[in-house]
Structure 1
């Protein structure tokens, strides 16, 4: 029997191995603050190899940052000692039979950050499309609180908030001094892990409104690269100003789309039934144009 792995991969370790494989002459050793000899990367050697400038702390440069961003990156790479447990009594078969296990669909209950890490081993680089609908950070939303400075018991006692399966939640009110920071610390590691699950031609779609759409696009630009920003779709989610609207009515939301690697074209062949339905030709265009 194959020995089970009782923890998820250490992504930071994997990244170090990739860098060491590319530039073995940049691998060295140094002493940490406690006097221990640890492995390190020689910045000067790396600069020679890549022939570009490395920005040091304190130098001005264009960047997108917020408090605790480094912790959010570490959180994404940090392994966990958990596993998924199959529950047959909650399963549903293809024909809708309770307890059936012949469906190819998987429904996971739990913290989505843990779930994304646990899916890495099986679905790494295999997912064609991801759609997520995160909290919009409206001031009334509850978001996952990824805080390791408190124990689970202490946090639960302090906040009194958990979801239906016991995951820690916190209400991110708009008078919180960390309003955007808390939301970014929640969403950033999850998008990083989602990217790793995508195949080379995979795409991710994220619903959002005007409160965090700018921050979301900046975060995704950093994770995917702005060249992989396919589009920010605008969709009309309501009609009319509404009886309780003050000032300008907000009638739109957004779907932000990124690709793992930006394709040359995005198009799909129409079925025979669709071709009969959409048989008219646009007077402005004589041929179908791919995005």
Structure 2
């Protein structure tokens, strides 16, 4: 009967997540953004960087361009939908890289300790002495901006905090009854890590990953705003950066992509808050 016990707990966690006052609206907002990204090629099949109409056409003037155009005559609606693709792709790839590096480093340092722990401590200290945004900016500036390089730069500079968090969780579990029992039964280190350690570090990793996606979107937008975005790809940051030149007279060019960034970051933060509340040990009592 023992294998049946986790199922009610999972159902209880799912119920708490669905009833969370933050996770539910956050998920709804994120689904809207994901829907825009998925439908971009269908609703706007052309290149969003094409000059489609007259420059600086205000929203509502032409039904064919409901959100207007920028200073080069590019369709803002098309840019927003295709920009969702680029921004979410960069955020997803960079977060996946940061999670992989952070979990691997944190587990190795916490489980083996000694020299491995000292090396990780030195590496994370080095990374954290430099602001992550400036570090990413330097990498992108040297490597030349592209979607792949931006995602790699953000991922490489985002993992140290997660590694420290995972290390602390592994240290807590390393000498617990579950791990000691597995060692007494002769389980290998790999089996202990996979079956006993990693599943119990999933909660902080999930919560951190949702917040890292939001941070990655903001970082990519900031890089693009400063002129270090991929010029061949429509992204929200590129749109905000281009629109700053006409902010006083045609504010919508900047504000609309800025709202898209704000809504997406808000959604991810709400989901992160909901996950933190659901997996809080005090909630299960």
Higher RCO (CA-CA < 8 Å; seq separation 6+) = 2
More helix by share: 2
**How high is the TM-score relative to the length of structure 2?**
0.25
**How high is the TM-score relative to the length of structure 1?**
0.25
